[in-house]
Structure 1
Amino acid sequence: MTSTFVFYAVAAMASPYLIYRLAARFQLSRAKHPSLRGHSNLSRRIARLIPFFSYSEHDFFASDGAPPAVQQQRRKAMRGLQANAEQQCAETLAHCRAIQNSVSDVRFTSRYRVPFPYSRQLPDCFLLGSMADETRGSQVRDLDGNWRYDLSGSYGVNVFGYDFYKQCMDEGIAQTKALGPVLGLYHPLIAENVNIIRQVSGLDEVSFHMSGTEAVMQAVRLARYHTGKTHLVRFCGAYHGWWDGVQPGIGNTRKARDVYTLADLSEKTLHVLRTRSDIACVLINPLQAFHPNCDAPSDTALIASDRSNGFDKQRYSEWLTRIRNVCTERGIVLIFDEVFTGFRLAYRGAQEFYGVQADLVTYGKTLGGGLPVGVLAGTQKLMQRFKDNQPVNVSFARGTFNSHPYVMGAMNVFLNRIGQSDIQQQYLESESLWNTRVAQFNQRLESEGLPLQITNIHSILSVLYTLPGRYNWMFQFYLRQAGLELSWTGTGRLIMTYRFTDDDFNQVVERFVSAAHQMQSDGWWWQSPELTNKAIKRQFLVDVLTARFPFLAGRLSGPLATSREKSAKDRVKGPVPAR
């Protein structure tokens, strides 16, 4: 009887705890974004189930059900683009081919420039990246002497134009070359750099690292160290570097479960922050305001025309203010990841742009004045790597090349230069200038009758496609032929610099419009009543399922299947023209 009593007593005491745990888990699940990217564990399982498959030569040109005449149009256009690339960029392509099997980054970016079912049929000259040997102003030159307007922005480094950074590097090295690569000792320029960074960040202390990813790693580590809590919160779709501790998204393998991926702009997320006791920090990528709850746009995901992004500054500023207030109330560390946005959106970065002060801020890219760097700024309490009363309890972090003299020199020139009146005036005018330029850009696209729209957050632009289509990813190659240099992510993100004059920008618009007209005339934006975004995605799902489960072939049919089959039956007999 005693044992029975004990059992029921324990059960009675355990029940409220179990109910509490279940309720907390339910609230956490509700705070996740309903998309696949909002559920990291599920997304990784599904990613492992998706097989690689390649469209046949016919389906490559007819995956949208286009008739034979349009298919032939596309084949001819592809041959023309390929011939032009091989002729105009022969030396550049030869150098790229020489390294494609020995540089892992090249193999990765080559594979992920377009949706994977099309990659094997695409000529390799399209998949290869580029090489360059000179820059000037807003342009970059490849090895064949072709000058292109640079819309890649060097992944965010290039805020003020290449000439600016070359000057920073030259002057910085001139100031520090007598010391050379001394490590461990500091060049005296570090003191001035730290003082300026403290003023810019509004924080007390600074540590130097080799990359933005490294700076984020240290920020998260210190937040956990000082709060004694285990979990960080990131927002759905946000990128914080390649470190897997902050990259639990689709397809990225990860064993530990110490990250909560929650929905952006959600009351349910605020509820989780207010009620859970295991959250050490909230990690904010200010650029996520451009595409809340979505991954950074890339042409490799352009299956249909449903890319969506847009920027509402007031709404996101209010959201970040509410996050700030909750973090203060709950003792949660608020981290701004300004590796990309720092020194671009405003002089004091996103903190100034949105009017919110963080506890820790990471910087990188442009702050090195053209050389690689990662920087963490924070309050004195959070930046301390030891505990006064526990001498063995430390949070050790060092790096062999942290505070390299040449980096300190280029950084010093950069920081002093952007504090001057001409660039401070640019900061005051830049947001309005870029919004006006993009509005004029869209007016031109509309007047030309092109199925395109440009969105932006400051000087970072993205291309939206306004008609359903399966071949929008082809547009990047037309833009390149027209003299515009894009990153490997294609038209998802066009990163422009303060160096773009009105004339430069107008040249970009002209080349963009010319490329779009050529793409249109080559049949890639062919339309039919059956061609809707919903139908395209359903057909793609059918293709995936058929590739994964071959026995389903013929049993599943997407909305485009009939038109594709009809197209195959009606195509011209005889040999298929060579691509």
Structure 2
Amino acid sequence: MNQAIIVYILALILLLSVLLKMRVRLQLSRAKHGSLRGHSKWSRRMARLVPFFSYDDAVFFISDGAPANIGQQRRLALAELEKSINTQCALTLAYCEQLESSVSDLQFTSHYRIPFPYRNGLPKCFKLGSIADETKGSKIKDLDGNWRYDLSGSYGVNVFGYDFYKACMEEGINQTKQLGPVLGTYHPLINDNVEMIKQISGLDEVSFHMSGTEAVMQAVRLARYHTGKSHLVRFCGAYHGWWDGVQPGVGNTRVTHDVYTLADENEHSLKVLATRKDIACVLINPLQAFHRNNDAPADTGLLASERKTGFDKQAYSRWLARIRQICTERNIVLIFDEVFTGFRLAYRGAQEFYGIQADMVTYGKTLGGGLPIGVVAGTHQLMKRFKLEQPAHVSLARGTFNSHPYVMGAMNVFLKRIQSAEIQQQYQQSEALWNSRVAYFNQRLQAEKLPLKISNIHSILSVSYTLPSRYNWMLQFYLKNHGVELSWTGTGRLIMSFSFTDQEFKEVVECFVSAAQQMQQDHWWWQSPQLSNKTIKRQFLSDMLSAKFPMIAGLLPRPLLALEKQAQQMRAQQNHLTKPVN
């Protein structure tokens, strides 16, 4: 009898344990975003299953179901644009092509500027990147002498304009050139830099690293070291550098099991933070407020016209305040990843912009005054890399080029210059200024009846498309032809420096208007009643499944009904034109 009771109790305990684990698992599942971005393991699995397929010459120009005459006009327009760019940029393109086979980054960006089915049909000149040899103010010059307004922002480095950073670099090197590349021994300027960063971050200690990714790695490592907990929380779509420890989905070749990807602005996510005992830190990318639960917008993903951006400062500030409270209560380290947003959103960065004090902050990019840098700032407790009572229990982090004298010099000039009355006034006015500029931008687009809309978070802008289209990615090439330099991600992220005057901003707007008008005249935004974002996505899915499973291709629905017939007609016309005469 006693044995039976013991067995019953053990079975009950086991059942309760299983039910508790199921409840915890369900709670975590509910906190994930419903998209593949919110499920890292599934996103990796699905990425491996996506087959490459390419639209041939007949389909390339009418993949939206446009009639043959529209396809022909697009073909002629692309040839004219190709001719113009080849003429404008002959030296730059030749130099870039020479590098492509030897520079892996260039190979990657040349393959991921547009949706992959169109890649093979795009002329070479559109795929290649840029080579530049001079900058001035808000502009950049390629090897052919073409000056363009720079909206690439040097990946976020260029907050104040290129002349500002060239002066920081020159003055900083002049202050440190007598020491040269001495590593391990500090240049005395480091003390000034540390004190200024402490004041800006509101934190106690500073460590220097070579890049923003490295700074994030160190912050996460220290959070785990001091809390003794294993997992970090990131929010769906947020980018924290290329380290696989904070990028668990597509792009990560190492399987990680110590990262929770939760939905942004989600009550279930807060419940996970408030109840789990294994969370060491929460990583916040302040820019994620601009495209919550979505990856950073890029033209390679412009399959239709469903780019989602938008910013509600008050709502996101309230969200961060709730996270701050839970992190304090649960001994979770709150890390602000300010590598991109630091010194842009406000003098004290996102902490000032949103009114939240973090436990640790990572900086990079612009803080180096034009030279490479990564910085971690944190409390005394979190920054310590050893335990006095356990001398062998350390968290080792060193780097050969940390605190390089030239970087310390440029950083010193940068930090002192942004304290000037002129730049402090600029900070006070900049949020309202950029909001008003974007409002003017949208007024111009609306007045010209162009299918574009601009959204922004401060001086970071993004282009959305208001009509269904499969060819929105073409706009980046028209913009280049009209004097605007973008990064390889295209129209998804336009990073503008504070050096843009009102007149220069208006000139950029006119470049956009002219480029979009030409693109519209070339019929890339052709419309029909059957064309919708839904039918575009269904067509793409059908094309992808046909490539993956050719045996069922004829059974799949084709929502853009005219496509196959038109493609066949165009192939027949081409075959007739190329058929040899007896």
Contact residue 233 and residue 283 of structure 1 kept, 8 A: yes
Distance in 1 between the 2:572 and 2:259 partners?
A: 57
- Structure 1 counterpart of 2:108, which letter? F
CA contact (8 A) 1:298 1:489 kept: yes
* Aligned pairs for 1:83-482 within 5 A: 83-482=83-482
Alignment match, 1:568: 567
- Between stretches 550-559 and 215-224, larger displacement belongs to 550-559
Q: CA deviation at 1:454?
A: 0.2
Note if contact 1:274-1:326 (Cα within 8 Å) is conserved in structure 2. yes
Mapped contact 1:237–1:249 kept (Cα < 8 A): no
Letter in 2 for 1:373: I
Q: What 5-or-longer segments of structure 1 have no aligned partner?
A: none
Query: Which amino acid in the other structure matches residue 273 of structure 1?
Result: L
What amino acid sits opposite 2:563 in the alignment?
Answer: R
| Deviations 1:172-214 (CA, angstroms, capped at 9, x unpaired) | 0000000000000000000000000000000000000000000
The 1:569/1:547 distance shift into structure 2, 3 A limit, reads closer
Q: Secondary structure at the match of 1:393?
A: strand
Q: Which amino acid aligns with 1:210?
A: M
One-letter amino acid matched to 1:48: R
Q: What CA distance in whole angstroms lies between the structure 2 residues aligned with 1:124 and 1:570?
A: 27
Tell me the SS of whatever aligns to 1:339: coil
> How many Å separate the matches in 2 of 1:455 and 1:491?
11
2: distance between equivalents of 1:571 and 1:238?
44
Structure-2 separation of matches of 1:346 and 1:359: 18
1:324-369 per-position Cα deviation (integer Å, ceiling 9, x unaligned): 0010011100000000000000000000000000000000000000
CA contact (8 A) 1:231 1:260 kept: yes
How far 1:124 moved relative to its partner? 1.0
TM-score (norm 2): 0.98
* CA–CA separation in structure 1 for the residues paired with 2:322 and 2:59: 50
- Name the CA distance, whole Å, in 1 between partners of 2:157 and 2:211: 12
Number of positions where the alignment pairs a residue of Structure 1 with one of Structure 2: 577
Alpha-carbon separation, structure 2, partners of 1:2 and 1:554: 68
Measure the CA separation in 1 of the matches of 2:137 and 2:512.
19
Amino acid at match of 1:29: S
Q: Corresponding residue for 2:484?
A: 484
What letter matches 1:250 in structure 2?
V
- In 2, Cα distance between the equivalents of 1:406 and 1:384? 26
Change (3 A) 1:162 1:490: same
Q: Which amino acid aligns with 1:359?
A: D
* Displacement after TM superposition at 1:573 (Å): 5.2
Instruction: Give the match's secondary structure for 2:574.
Output: coil
Cα offset, 1:5, TM superposition: 5.4
Alignment-derived partner of residue 27 in structure 1: 27
Q: After alignment, is 346-355 or 59-68 more displaced?
A: 59-68
Secondary structure in structure 1 of the residue aligned to 2:158:
coil
Q: CA shift at 1:557, angstroms?
A: 1.6
Equivalent residue number for residue 511 of structure 1: 511
Q: String of CA shifts for 1:226-272, please: whole Å, max 9, x gaps.
A: 00000000000000000000001235333120000000000000000
Aligned counterparts of 2:302 and 2:4: Cα–Cα separation in 1: 63
- Cα shift readout 1:66-107 (whole Å, capped 9, x = no counterpart): 111110111101111111111110110011011101100000
Q: Distance in 2 between matches of 1:189 and 1:10?
A: 66
- For 2:137 and 2:103, how far apart are their aligned partners in 1? 29
- 1:567 CA drift (Å): 1.9
Letter aligned with residue 499 of structure 2: R
Q: Counterpart of 2:554 in 1: which secondary structure?
A: coil
Whether the 8 Å contact between 1:222 and 1:385 is mirrored in structure 2 is yes
Please identify, of 8-17 and 291-300, the stretch whose mean Cα deviation from structure 2 is larger.
Answer: 8-17
Q: Secondary structure at the match of 2:120?
A: coil
Residue segments in structure 2 that go unaligned for 5+ positions in a row? none
Whether contact under 8 Å (2:165, 2:369) holds in the other structure is yes
**3-state SS, counterpart of residue 336 of structure 1:** strand
Cα distance in 2 for residues equivalent to 1:209 and 1:98: 33
Name the CA distance, whole Å, in 2 between partners of 1:425 and 1:462: 26
Letter in 1 for 2:415: L
Whole-angstrom CA distance in 2 between matches of 1:394 and 1:8:
47
Amino acid at match of 2:150: D
Equivalent in the alignment of 2:72? 72
* Segment drifting more, 82-91 vs 294-303: 82-91
Against the structure 1 CA distance between its residues 85 and 130, is the aligned structure 2 distance closer, same or farther, given a 3 Å change threshold?
Answer: same
After TM superposition, give the deviation of residue 22 of structure 1 in Å: 1.0
Aligned counterparts of 1:72 and 1:19: Cα–Cα separation in 2: 63
SS of the aligned residue for 2:468 comes to coil
Q: Would the aligned equivalents of 2:58 and 2:571 in 1 still touch at CA under 8 Å?
A: no
Identity, % of aligned positions: 70
Cα separation, 2, equivalents of 1:179 and 1:253: 41
Higher mean C-alpha displacement, 15-24 vs 500-509: 15-24
Q: Partners in 2 of 1:235 and 1:470 — Cα distance?
A: 29
Q: Give the TM-score taking structure 1 as reference length.
A: 0.98
User: Displacement of 1:575 after TM fit?
Assistant: 3.0
Cα distance in structure 1, aligned partners of 2:518 and 2:252: 37
The amino acid across from 1:460 in the alignment is I
Cα displacement (A) at 1:571 = 4.0
Deviation of 1:19 after TM superposition, in Å, equals: 1.5
Q: Which segment drifts farther, 16-25 or 291-300? A: 16-25
Q: Is the 8 A contact 2:148 2:483 kept in 1?
A: yes
Work out whether residues 169 and 369 of structure 2, in 8 Å CA contact, stay in contact via their aligned partners in 1: yes
Change (3 A) 1:249 1:572: closer
Between the aligned partners of 2:568 and 2:124, the Cα distance in structure 1 is 29
AA partner of residue 61 (structure 1): F
Cα distance in 1 between the residues matched to 2:419 and 2:221: 32
